[in-house]
């Protein structure tokens, strides 16, 4: 992992490695869940911070 990252090619970006495939699957799942959330719920409201 360190060697690839140090060389500018993180193992998570190698779509042929087990880690890369798992990272891709995770990213697709997160994007799908965000799309579902956005379709089913109203937009998140900005919270006001006290004292700013």
pLDDT exceeds 60 at position 1: no
| pLDDT at res. 52 | 66
Instruction: Dig out the tokens for 8 from the structure.
Output: 């500018």
Residues 6+ away with beta carbon under 8 Å from 1: 10, 11, 19
Instruction: Dig out the tokens for 11 from the structure.
Output: 């193992």
Q: How confident is the model at residue 4 (pLDDT cuts 50, 70, 90)?
A: low
What's the CA gap between 11 and 22, in Å, rounded? Answer: 11
User: 0.85 cut: is pTM over it?
Assistant: no
Residue pLDDT, tens place only, 5-52: 667 778 888 888 898 899 999 999 999 999 999 999 998 888 888 876
- Scanning the chain, the segments in alpha helix (DSSP H) are 2-6, 18-40
| pLDDT at res. 42 | 92
């Amino acid at each position: 992992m360190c060697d690839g990252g140090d060389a500018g090619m993180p193992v998570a970006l190698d779509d042929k490695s087990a880690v890369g495939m798992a990272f891709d699957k995770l990213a697709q799942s997160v994007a799908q869940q965000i799309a579902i959330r956005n379709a089913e719920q109203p937009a998140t409201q900005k919270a006001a911070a006290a004292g700013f």
